[in-house]
Amino acid sequence: MEKTMVVTGYKAYEMNIRSAKDDRLPYIKKAIKDRLIGFIENGGEWVLTSGQIGIELWTCEVVLELKADYDIKYAIIPPYNQQEVRWQEQDQELYFHLVNEADYYALLYEDNYKGPYQFAARDSWLIEKSDCCLLVVDEEFPGSVGFFLDRAKKYRESNDYAIYYMTSDDLNDTIREMQENNQSF
């Protein structure tokens, strides 16, 4: 049974989303929410992220919202100290709010950024501590998510590990479905 899921995907800038007021965000969050509800209703208990801007922080926001109706927890495990130091103020505020609300928070490395090995260690740790992952990614254009995806596929070769995908087609389906049902935000 899958009790712990890592959720990761594109960073906001990789999706050309520059503001929390972007018209696409409600649809992205709705698609994430639908996937998470399915995970929770099938016994899911924990969602893990590293707290990156984009899919990961939006997922934490969704989990926080779902806590009103479901017994679900989330953890933020940054790869190093002060990952948010170069972010815009609004992104830092969201990050600190979500860290404060998290059911679990711990730095993988207590130091500030030292090198790419911290990202590789983060990916390995998240994969080994979870039963499955949900990736918001297009495999043809994986961007920074490609490193996590490669590591997850390698891990799956010798472990029972499910990799779920949410693609732009899935997001478009959510938009179409919501428009057909006259749902708006």
Give the pLDDT confidence of 113-125 residue by residue, as tens digits.
999 999 999 999 9
Report the number of distinct structural domains present in the chain: 1
Q: Note the pLDDT of residue 123.
A: 98
- Tell me what pLDDT residue 99 has: 98
Residue 161 lies in a domain: yes
- Stretches where the chain sits below pLDDT 50 are none
CA dist., res. 50 & res. 7, Å (int): 9
For residue 184, being part of any structural domain is answered with no
Residue 14 sits in a domain whose CATH number is 3.40.50.450
In a domain, 163, yes or no: yes
Is 128 domain-assigned? yes
Residue 156 lies in a domain: yes
pLDDT of residue 127: 98
The residues near 72 (Cβ < 8 Å, ≥ 6 apart) are 36, 40, 44, 45, 46, 47, 63, 66
Q: Distance between alpha carbon 159 and the CA centroid of its chain, in Å? A: 22
Q: Within a domain: residue 185?
A: no
How high is the pLDDT of residue 183?
62
Provide the sign of the torsion angle of the four alpha carbons 174, 175, 178, 181, taken in this order.
Answer: negative
**Packing angle between helix 117-128 and helix 145-156, nearest 10 degrees?**
50
- Domain extent for 17: 4-179
Residues paired with residue 134 on neighbouring β-strands, in sequence order: 7, 164
State the Rg of the chain over Cα.
Answer: 16
In the Cβ-directed half-sphere of 54, how many Cα atoms lie within 13 Å?
19
C-alpha 97/C-alpha 88 separation (Å) is: 14
